[in-house]
Structure 1
């Protein structure tokens, strides 16, 4: 499973340049309100490829490092603002002030057993590849604009090298961190999921979805035969697990079905108006009758199902019973997670085997003010702070949240 090990920030908003290190499991951001915790989660999501609209127009220079199953790599993202002159509307008139456009450059370095096996530079209109000292360039101007990793993939497939290094191409693509981005602190992610529509064309076995980051278990509905009638009901793995945590015996997802083609041989159907139903003896309730905390848990289970390698969740424990927090952490399993919480309940579930693990687990977020204005300071604990925390943790007397407060880390 691919893991994010490091994030370096050279330029981003009012954040002081920093390098953050992470553990393979749970990582927790600590800090007061307005210290940038949510902003850091947004940046992490954007860096690994799940674009956050709030940061879409931000100038930045950041890099992150991934330890992958087959390859390790470093990805540097540079966004600069470029002013382009506006041509005059009438001949003889001077050019007007320029339009400001954002230009992004993505540089990749892939390594296997410590040795570089591929370098790549991705621009909006081209990909430059370098392997064993040999360079090649692929023109992307005729291709639809894609995210940098997908552009890199098509660039690799378009080179003559790809035919003789197919295994390496597969390793490069499989090393990508797969994440559904940031789950918000409320119910936006669940509401977006409820707006899901999918159009299925049985003749071509193709489908289109109106949202990104669909839970993986929902893709299996495309292989099921479509029942007759105006609705279709499906069992989903993440939904069944959430139902058991909430005290129900089972749960199903139900779509309205609209048939768009009159020809049986070319059936096109649209699924919409998604609803979830939870059942136990003598009772069936739809998701809209669940409490806020129950909806939050359902939202997290759906979000986790869409996040294959890395889970990002803001204020995870909002509205959750303490037993449900344990269920959410079990749902994360072996995946890497980046979480925030102002509630000590989450912190008290954390476990540590060394001071170094403590240092990589926590990201301390602080806002400072000076003559030049406010600045965000993001950092891991120092080795001294981590040693002090771990010594107190080993005694088993205080809870994790109490140690953090005592040591001035939270």
Structure 2
């Protein structure tokens, strides 16, 4: 699986410049309210390509590193505000200069075995590839995410025999994530509003949500019944139902055929409902408790995130056994979580001082002459070592050690 190993922030809102290092497993953000934990989760979501509306108008200069099986990628994203003077409606008035737009540039460094092999700049109309001895310019054919633009440019580059192989490595190194799961029930409610259109015999899928659970994507490649509604089994739903104490669960969609021609037919799936069964009982999702809905939403969110799971206040409303089930669901994937509840922290395990240092991101808010500033950092080596020595004794819980050491 692909992992985020580092995030460097040179400029972003009122955040002090910093470099954060990450564990390949579960990473936890610690800090008081208004220390920027949710903002950092939003930033992590945005840099890996998950839509994040709250940051769409933010200028920034950040870079992050991806480690994959065959290649490491460093991606730098710069969004600079450019003033666009507006023409006045009245010719007798001066130009207005109160409009601005963001100009984005993306730069990549591709490394194999620790050696940079290609540097690339993804520009609005072209991609510039630089190797040790030459520079190649490839015209952009259509808008795409920066890393996909780089992939297509390498595929089209005929001046280097290794470009196609490198392109495949870049494509496989993408971090796939559904972005940030919110701290309440927004994600659950959005899931219920999911609408999918399946077009023609070639099975082209479009949805009103940028990311959907893989179980639902796979479902759409099956034969859709000739009826007005249909019930489908879903892998993530089956796992969630057993955690919730039910024997089985199913998802039901309303089905509408929007065109009469079979070869060009468009089928719309909407009005998603979930049903849970055990002996003598069947309940729909609207009868679930707050915590049950949160757990179901997390399992759907995890199913949509191949590499990276981001969740805000994961344990809200969850029984301690459900927290353990959520961590099991994360499995070998990387995760970034926040929690004001010590229960999550007490599930964490550590094998070294460096693992402690990379696991925690400490978030705090400081005030100075320039105003409020957000400070995000990993624990120092000394702080991590002090924590790890206390952890090894096995006397205190993780949350208690963090409190004792002044890290939480």
Specify the TM-score bucket, using the shorter chain as the normaliser: over 0.9
Task: Note the alpha carbon deviations across 1:12-33, whole angstroms, 9 max, x for none.
Answer: 1111111111110010000000
Change (3 A) 1:220 1:163: farther
| 1:35 and 1:376 in contact (8 A); partners too | yes
What is the root-mean-square deviation of aligned Cα atoms in Å? 1.6
Greater displacement, 99-108 / 130-139:
130-139
SS in 1 for 2:179: strand
Q: Which runs of 5+ in 2 are unaligned?
A: none
Query: Are the structure 2 counterparts of residues 187 and 34 from structure 1 closer, same or farther at C-alpha, using a change threshold of 3 Å?
Result: same
- 1:10-21 residue pairs with structure 2 within 5 A? 10-21=10-21
Counterpart for residue 86 of structure 1:
86
For 1:1-400, what aligned pairs fall within 5 Å after superposition? Answer: 1-87=1-87, 95-97=95-97, 99-140=99-140, 143=142, 145-161=143-159, 165-400=163-398
Q: What is the deviation of 1:216?
A: 0.9
Q: TM-score, normalised by structure 1?
A: 0.96
> How many positions carry a matched residue from both structures?
408
CA contact (8 A) 2:177 2:306 kept: yes
CA distance in 2, matches of 1:163, 1:228: 50
Deviates more, 1:397-406 or 1:117-126: 117-126
Structure 2 CA distance for aligned equivalents of residues 164 and 34 of structure 1: 48
Residues 281-333 of structure 1: CA deviation (Å, up to 9, x unaligned): 11111111100000000000000001101100000000000000000000000
Indicate conservation of the 8 Å contact 1:162/1:169, yes or no: no
SS at 2:202's partner residue? coil
* Offset at residue 223 of structure 1 (A): 1.7
Q: TM-score, normalised by structure 2?
A: 0.96
CA distance in 2, matches of 1:133, 1:101: 36
What SS does the aligned partner of 1:85 have?
coil
Q: How big is each residue's C-alpha offset from its partner over 1:175-201, in whole Å with a ceiling of 9 and x where there is no partner?
A: 111111100001111111111111112
- Conserved? CA contact 2:151–2:171, under 8 Å: yes
3-state DSSP of counterpart to 2:178: strand
Is the contact made by 1:312 and 1:337 (CA closer than 8 Å) also made in structure 2? yes
Taking the aligned partners of 1:374 and 1:103, their CA distance within structure 2 comes to: 27
1:124-171 CA distance string (max 9 Å, x none) = 33221123432222333x62x332122222322333247753221100
CA-to-partner distance for each residue in 1:76-123, whole Å, 9 max, x for gaps? 111100112334557787544263110111110010111112211112
Displacement, 1:205?
2.2
Return closer, same or farther for 1:339/1:168 CA change in 2, 3 Å cut-off: same
